[in-house]
Structure 1
Amino acid sequence: MKFSFTKMQGCANDYIYLDCRTSGVPENIVPLARKLSARHFSVGADGIICICAPETPGADGTMRIFNADGSEAQMCGNGIRCVAEWLHVHEPACAAKPVLKIDTRSGRKTLTRMGEELWQVEMGAYSTRAADLPAVNMGEGPLVRCPLTVDGKTWEVTCISVGNPHCVTLVPEVDGLKLEAIGPAFESHPNFPERINTEFVEFVDRTHLKMRVWERGSGETWACGTGTCATVAALVEQGLCPAGEDVHVALRGGELTIRVLPGRQLLMTGAASTVYEAVIEV
């Protein structure tokens, strides 16, 4: 079977994008995601994102995201900017619109084009409640500065839901961390029955952070939009970063700018670009 795809990236968070607006999500999406995402053996990506027909009135499209292991995620902050960029380029009805609305498994998101390959996303409100992650054996919340024992070591974590679950922990420096050794134990910790995304954060100053991330279903990725939002939200909750101001987060693949608005609403700004388009036979 031959099909066309677009390879896109936001802060090096790279996915294979399929136009599924007419055909729907392929029936074999799980094995397809596993096969095509395998780096060095195939196209290589953090997963597959399907651009589908809108599900709600007034929306411009729907995003479905499948991780490299085939599991489906609710939301991807870098991915949704790429979906908006794809629609802007490939869908004439969207080309002239400064604002796009995209349905996701965590609700509709509104995106504003800020410049060439630059999008701002209204990510919605975050929560620190255990039930919203979900998390167990940690109290009901707010899950701010909670102890979490992982492989015999106790970490201080803040758990944030931004439509998908995140566990944020401050570390002295991120560059020397061996995430492949510690990430899997966080991801599969029994306190998180649906697994967890984990952000390791170095505090530079009140408006500048460095972050590395271990994503459930994909391992370490060079960026995570929802994880960056969760990180800034966690540090605002701890009083380390200011609400209402831009916070710049340096990731392995680039920089994202996050602002926490009243009502715990999150605003994310970052780039989205096409790497190449191709046809593959599988």
Structure 2
Amino acid sequence: MADRLAFTKMQGLGNDFMVIDAVSQKFPVAKWLTPERIRRWADRHFGIGFDQLLLIEPPARRQSDFRYRIFNGDGSEVEQCGNGARCFARFVAERGLTDRREIRVQTAGGPIVLHLTDDGQVCVDMGRPRFTPEEIPFKPPVTATGSPYTLMLSGRPGGLDKVTLEAVSMGNPHAVIQVDDVDAFPVEAVGPVVESHPAFPRRVNVGFVEQQADDHIRLRVYERGAGETLACGTGACAAVAAGIRADRLQTPCRVDLPGGTLVIDWSGRESDTLFMTGPAEFVFDGEVVVESTD
């Protein structure tokens, strides 16, 4: 016996997703959504190919319109994904799952609010940035007196024995590292070492920032469980929040990623929420066969 599962491929600035509607079609999550199956679907040679899988479910709380779950290509579930949130908003609106322009969504990282704009973009209320180590979570070096932090690296990746970073949570953990030239910096070597550093007990997304102006940065992100991606929405939010907090940046701030541009707006007050605006695009619809013994 086999079942056919409908899905949609979407992308936000090149950060690509397999979107599964578990609201209007049968989808036994516990049975079908195993880490092994996600890894197989994520494979770009033998599967569908994607950075993350987005699951749309009915809300578990009255104050939310939907529940939104995110799984990396390695099968691990994560708390938040900004580019995915924009794709989520366009999907539920254009597929008739809601007629609201303001969509309240429950995530593992907390509630978020998505706003559909008249020009086809999506503005996401990403919640407030968090800098307290316990909230990230992050275990600062015992000699640290505050941000920024110096983290020692094993194996001298890219010829470096340490990096200086700021730690931020946007519902998921981020390390923000300032660099002189984001193209020349050894992201491929340093990224995985920082991602799995013992100072970050849940691993961490690693952002490498080159400042262009006080309202403009370039950014590359090495994501947990996915490697370097063309864009990371929460990474852009974390990079700008860290820069505003340190008086390097002002709001709104343009963030250029390999896949395109986002605009981040934050007051700098830690009690205020942060807003991210950017595009979300449909790529194609498809079906995948799910074997009962698969």
TM-score range, shorter chain: over 0.9
Amino acid at match of 1:259: D
| Cα separation, 2, equivalents of 1:215 and 1:39 | 17
1:129/1:142 contact within 8 Å kept: no
Kindly state the Cα deviation for residue 190 of structure 1 after the two structures are TM-superposed: 0.7
Structure 1 residues 33-60: Cα deviation after superposition (integer angstroms, max 9, x where no partner): 1111112222110021111111211422
In structure 2, the partner of 1:98 is 101
Structure 1 residues 227-269: Cα deviation after superposition (integer angstroms, max 9, x where no partner): 1100001111211002xx2100000111110011342421111
2:254/2:264 contact within 8 Å kept: yes
| Cα separation, 2, equivalents of 1:212 and 1:181 | 13
Structure 1 gap segments, 5+ residues each: none
CA RMSD of aligned residues (A): 1.8
Counterparts of residues 1-282 of structure 1 (less than 5 Å) = 1=2, 2-21=4-23, 23-29=27-33, 30-92=35-97, 94-95=98-99, 97-138=100-141, 144-151=147-154, 152=156, 153-242=161-250, 245-261=251-267, 262=269, 263-282=271-290
1:130/1:143 contact within 8 Å kept: no
Task: Give TM-score scaled by structure 1 length.
Answer: 0.93
Q: What is the number of residues matched between the two proteins?
A: 278
Tell me the SS of whatever aligns to 1:194.
coil
Structure 1 residues 65-115: Cα deviation after superposition (integer angstroms, max 9, x where no partner): 0001100000111111111111001125x23x2211111111211111113
2:133/2:140 contact within 8 Å kept: no
Deviates more, 1:210-219 or 1:109-118: 109-118
Task: Give TM-score scaled by structure 2 length.
Answer: 0.90
Deviates more, 1:41-50 or 1:262-271: 262-271
| Cα separation, 2, equivalents of 1:8 and 1:103 | 20
Structure 1 residues 136-160: Cα deviation after superposition (integer angstroms, max 9, x where no partner): 1436998521111123421110000
Amino acid at match of 2:75: G
1:180/1:220 contact within 8 Å kept: yes
| Cα separation, 1, equivalents of 2:66 and 2:144 | 34
Structure 2 gap segments, 5+ residues each: none
In terms of Rg, which structure is larger? Answer: 2
